[in-house]
Amino acid sequence: NGRCLPAGPLREPRGRLTRVDLVLTNGDDAGDGYRMRLVPGAAVKLRDPKVSSPIAGFIGRRVFAVAAIGNPERFFAMLRGLGLKVEGRAYPDHYPFAPSDLADWPAGPVLMTEKDAVKCAPFAGEDHWFLPVEAELDAAFVEAFFRKLEAQTHV
């Protein structure tokens, strides 16, 4: 709808784009800017963060995924793209998970975002995991960023 949070999806007004040096977009459609993508790591157990599992260990199993982020379908699509059979449940962005929410989740592995894991960790089940991601930036963006930074230090 073009409105800023909480009434819409934007964190800043579109007019702000006229006052920025670089634009970085998450996903394939970077428009006139640069692209980044989120690269998943190994799944981490909420109850014991020292325990991790390669995401390949979930392939062939039915996985329930929950996400309370701005674009939950992007998270579910990433999991499917990794070869997982996913049943996804989207919650509103910044949803305040409570122990009662877990009653509606099926048995078996539950995967969630790292953001959601922070809220669910205190009451997580034995088979609840989060998937950390790292941003992978276009090399051209990194180069342009450091050029801009270098120019600022020489002013």
CA 136 to CA 116: how far, in whole Å?
A: 21
pLDDT value of position 155: 63
User: 142 in helix, strand or coil?
Assistant: helix
Cβ neighbours, 10 Å, residue 34: 19
Encode pLDDT of 99-133 as tens digits. 999 988 999 999 999 999 999 999 999 999 999 99
- Over the chain, what is the mean pLDDT? 91
Q: Report pTM.
A: 0.81
Q: Is the peptide bond before 54 cis (omega within 30 degrees of 0)?
A: no
Q: Which helix (H) or strand (E) holds 30?
A: none
pLDDT value of position 49: 95
Encode pLDDT of 49-89 as tens digits. 999 999 999 998 899 999 999 889 999 999 999 999 999 99
Encode pLDDT of 22-48 as tens digits. 888 887 665 677 888 889 999 999 999
| Residue 8 one-letter amino acid | G
pLDDT value of position 11: 81
pLDDT value of position 122: 95
